[in-house]
Amino acid sequence: MRVLLLGGTSEARALAARLHPDVEVISSLAGRVPDPALPVGPVRIGGFGGATGLADWLRDNAVDAVVDATHPYAATITANAATACRQRGLPHVVLARPGWDPGDAVLVESDTAAADEVARRGWSRVFLTTGRSGTAAFVGSDAWFLIRAVTPPDPDTLPENRELVLSRGPYHYEGECALLRDHAIDVLVTKNSGGSMTRPKLDAARDLGVPVLMIDRPRLPAGVDSVSDVDGAEAWVRQREGQFAG
C-alpha cells in the first residue's frame, strides 16, 4: 500500500514514523521552510500545480490513499487534495488537530479582519504570531509589532514599526510571560493552531491580562473525513491497509 502523507507538522512526522516500514509512505512538504525537520522515509518537496496536478501525480505514482496532515490553516492544499482524491476515487482523510478553546478571545475570520480590529480598538503594541504569510494585512498600521515567525516574511509585507523574532517552538510559559511583559504588549494576535507547542502564549496572555485576538480556522471541504490525532490517522491507514491486502 502506498500512502501520500501531506505533512510538515509534528503529527505528520509522528505518523510517518509509526507507519514505517510496513506501509510505503511518501511525505510531501511545501518547501516554504528552509532546513525543515524531515520525517522518516521518502520525502518530496514542492507544490503539485493545483488539484489537477496533484490528481495527475497521484495517478502517475500509483498512490492508494492520501492523509492530509498539513497545518490547520493550509486551506489551499487541503482543498486541492480533497478535489484530487475525489477525481481519482482515492480514500482520503484529514488529520485535523483540535483547536484551542478561544475563551474570552476576540474571534475574527481573516488577517485583514484582525488588522481592522487592531485599528478599531486602538491597540498600539501587538504580539503578532500568525506566521510569515500573516503580516501583509498589517502594512500601514500605526501600531508597533513584535513579530514572531519561523522564517523571515518578505520585507514588503512587514509593517514599518516592528521587531522581528525568528524562532521555532515549542515555547514555554515563563518565556512567553517575559516576552509579553518586556515588550509591554497590549494584544496578542494569533491563529487557532491548536496543539501544545505554542499554547503557552495563550496561558501567559490570560494570566497577565493581555487580550487575545484570534483568527478562526478555515472550514474543511464538505464531505471530507477527518480524525483528530495521530492515533486516529494510524487506525484509518491500518484499516485501509487491511482492505488493500485483502
203 and 224 fall within a common domain: no
Nearest-angstrom CA–CA distance, 30 and 32: 6
pLDDT at 152: 92
Using CA atoms, how far apart are residues 2 and 241, in angstroms rounded to an integer? 9
CB 12 within 8 Å of CB 6: yes
pLDDT number for residue 246: 58
52 touches 29 (CB < 8 A): no
Same domain, 111 and 192: yes
In the chain, beta strands by DSSP E: 2-6, 24-29, 43-45, 65-68, 92-95, 106-108, 125-129, 144-149, 162-166, 187-191, 212-215, 225-227
Place of cell 474543511: 220
Full residue range of the structural domain in which residue 110 is found: 106-215
- Check whether residue 154 and residue 181 sit in a common domain: yes
Supply the pTM of this predicted model.
Answer: 0.89
pLDDT over 70 at 245, yes or no? no
Average pLDDT, the chain: 95
The answer on 128 and 81 residing in a single domain is no
Residues 45 and 119 in one domain: no
Same domain, yes or no: 132 and 209 = yes
For residue 155, pLDDT over 80 is answered with yes
One domain, residues 137 and 181: yes
The pLDDT value given to residue 243? 78
pLDDT digits (tens, 9 = 90+) for 226-237: 999 999 999 999
- Indicate which CATH number applies to the domain containing 201: 3.40.50.720
High-pLDDT (> 90) share of the chain, %: 89
Residue 33 has pLDDT above 90, yes or no: no
Model confidence at 135: pLDDT above 70: yes
Amino acid 242: pLDDT:
79
Per-residue pLDDT band for 45 (boundaries 50, 70, 90) equals very high
Each residue's pLDDT tens digit, 54-108: 999 999 999 999 999 999 999 999 999 999 999 999 999 999 999 999 999 999 9
Between 148 and 169, name the one with better pLDDT.
148
Same domain, 111 and 203: yes
User: Based on the domain organization, do 201 and 234 belong to the same domain?
Assistant: no
Q: How many domains does the chain fold into?
A: 2
pLDDT tens for each residue of 173-197: 999 999 999 999 999 999 999 999 9
What burial letters (b/e) apply to 85-122, b meaning 16+ CB within 10 Å?
Answer: beebebbbbbbbbeebeeeebbebeebebbbebbeeee
Q: What is the mean pLDDT of residues 141-160?
A: 95
Cβ-count burial of 218 within 10 angstroms (0-12 exposed, 13-18 middle, 19+ buried)? middle
Do 7 and 81 lie in one domain? The reply is yes
Residue 245 CA to residue 64 CA, distance in Å, equals: 12
Answer yes or no: do 54 and 130 share one domain: no
Same domain for 51 and 122? Answer: no
pLDDT at 37: 80
